[in-house]
Structure 1
Amino acid sequence: MAGRLRGKSSSVVRDEYARPPRQKTPPKRTYASEAEPRTSAANIDSITAQTEASTVHPYNRTNDLPHADNASTHLHHPLTIPLEYIMSSRTDMHGFTLVELMITLALLGIFAVIAVPSFNSLIRNNQVQSKAEELVIFLQHARGQAVLNRQAYEVQIKSNAPWEISNAGSGEVERILEHNPAHAEILSSALSDDKLVYRANGTATTAKFTICRDSDPTTGYLLEVQASGGLVLYPRGKKDGAALDSCTP
């Protein structure tokens, strides 16, 4: 028993003198707002004034600006001051004088007088050439239809109306050719009933056509329809190696 009591008392003594358990407490955090002194509105204004006073803007130097003594310069928006400074400092900007402008207009007038007649002549020559080539295609179509259908085809020639390609048997018109005598006048040699006939074998009635404008043979074309049905378009102002002397075929 004594041993048990001694053992119990010793355990009690150890418990009484035992170190209490350590409590874990989180470390206290220090924030920047707490570490730094708080700035009042008055302090902010004073700091801003000091910063602006110590900062020198390159365009705030009134000695470099033109008309620095004008009080209205200080009323401009800050972004407009650099633009005025730059525009006033440009010395390489030049304009046209009245004399230079008149000389330029005179040269343009001379060029127009020289170029306009040549341009009009080019347009007229192109109109005559295009009508001659169109006539060649028109007659080739008539011959091709005659050979293809094994029937005779007629080309009705009219002075003041479109030319017509029709079947000689049925008389049905298959194609027409518009022509304007003011742009290109087409004249033909004498033909029976003013008809050019293509036969089933491709042969045709011989004929000649001239395409001119203002009765000027130097810019006209001569188109010849051979007995075999072939077409010969001579160069501008030419016929059989010689000059085309008349617009009458």
Structure 2
Amino acid sequence: MLSANTIDIPDESHCMKKTLLTCLTALISGMLAFTPAFADELGVAVAANFTAPMRLIAQGFEADSGHKLRLSYGSTGKFYAQIRNGAPFDVFLSADNTTTLRLENDGLAVAGSRFIYATGRLVLWSAQPGLVDGTGAVLKSQSFRHLAIAAPKLAPYGAAAIQTMQGLGLINSLQARLVQGESIGQAYSFVVSGNAELGFVAMSQVFQDGKFKSGSAWTVPSKLHKPIVQEAALLTRAKDSRAAAEFLSYLKSAPAKAVMLSFGYQ
């Protein structure tokens, strides 16, 4: 009687499952190996006036690049002090074009990396409809007790507000009514909360898509103050960062510029 050796023939579905598992394992391993090499997290110091557009720009950049942005908002002067004291920022978006130059002279910003990303507009604004007229004549009235501005020594928009009042010949009569916030963000908060009936704020805080969002406003003629030219700079600690270079390039892109225009920047 003939006997035959028993041969185990693998089940076809088992082979397919094993092959699929092997492929998925390899794919996941490849993705994990890819991410640290090409994705990074950046610390970005952002002037407070640019808060709203920066949030939208960050979303677009992160979606396109895979990088993550760690955003901090505040006054330009305060950020200057923090960067000098070693704050872990990679990119600085200033509200002027002098602080970035100072950082470059200090050796804290990469020479040649500075560029203008936006020109801001100053607005006299109130949360109350009808309080601010189209010419700013309310500043000469007695219809308000407090006028909010950003600290002129820390915030370029605050300096522009002082220049405006000087140009109108009203600085002395308004001095006692001024309430100062550390940044333009805090000045805006004073007006929103009602602690000040009106204030000089950044257009980007109250304007979007071609119209003012609420309240009443007067767009200050640019001839009344020095241009609010806002510069970005690559900080020295990130001079070799590919992610930082990509972000600064994105800031010059058409999608980023479209966002800025929608908030009233020039």
The interval holding the TM-score normalised by the smaller chain is under 0.3
Q: What is the TM-score of this pair, normalised by structure 1? A: 0.26
Q: Say which structure is richer in strand.
A: 2
Larger Rg: 1
